[in-house]
């Protein structure tokens, strides 16, 4: 990478444009079409390589998703003490929904960051979706047929 940078410095020097156009070794290897910028006019055919695809740039949906994640996180900060102070069925189901959604988004981000390959990433995201659905169903079942999340946590703290 340093050698490519030094070669680009040479291309920026006076008369360097002809040097860059003659030798193909000066241009960086093409990683893939969607990871690179178009060359700027007057520059030495260098291209910037991005680490992640920018397919959500300027998307309002991505911004709303980010805001939703933050709202659920802040909601959990108030919901957990409220559930401790006022254990009820509504609190149990609210906790089940908020905790499941929060963990689903967190695990989805882990898959996005660490699982590579389209087919493998789709499979992992389907697994996260199935795990989240199973978790929510299990928490709802526990709330309906047993003591509920709030009372269960209180019982654990009594031990």
102 annotated ligand binder:
yes
3 state SS of 57 = coil
145 annotated ligand binder:
no
Distance (Å) of CA 49 to CA 38, 45, 108: 10, 13, 25
The CA distance from 25 to 87, in Å, is: 69
Distance (Å) of CA 52 to CA 32, 71, 109: 12, 26, 13
Q: Which residues are known binding-site members?
A: 102, 114
Q: Which residues are known binding-site members for a ubiquinone?
A: 114
Q: Which residues are known binding-site members for heme b?
A: 102
């Amino acid at each position: 990478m340093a050698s490519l940078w030094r070669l680009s410095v040479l291309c920026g020097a006076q008369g360097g444009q002809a040097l860059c156009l003659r030798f193909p070794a000066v241009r960086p290897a093409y990683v893939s079409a969607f990871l690179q910028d178009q060359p700027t006019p007057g520059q030495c055919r260098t291209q910037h390589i991005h680490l992640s695809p920018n397919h959500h740039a300027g998307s309002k949906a991505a911004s709303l998703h980010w805001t939703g994640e933050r709202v659920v996180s802040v909601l959990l900060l108030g919901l957990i003490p409220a559930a401790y102070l006022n254990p009820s069925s509504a609190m149990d189901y609210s906790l089940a929904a908020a905790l499941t959604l929060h963990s689903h988004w967190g695990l989805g981000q882990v898959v996005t960051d660490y699982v590579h390959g389209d087919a493998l990433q789709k499979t992992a995201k389907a697994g996260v979706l199935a795990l989240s659905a199973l978790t929510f169903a299990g928490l709802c079942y526990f709330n309906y047929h047993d003591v509920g999340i709030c009372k269960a946590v209180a019982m654990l703290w009594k031990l």
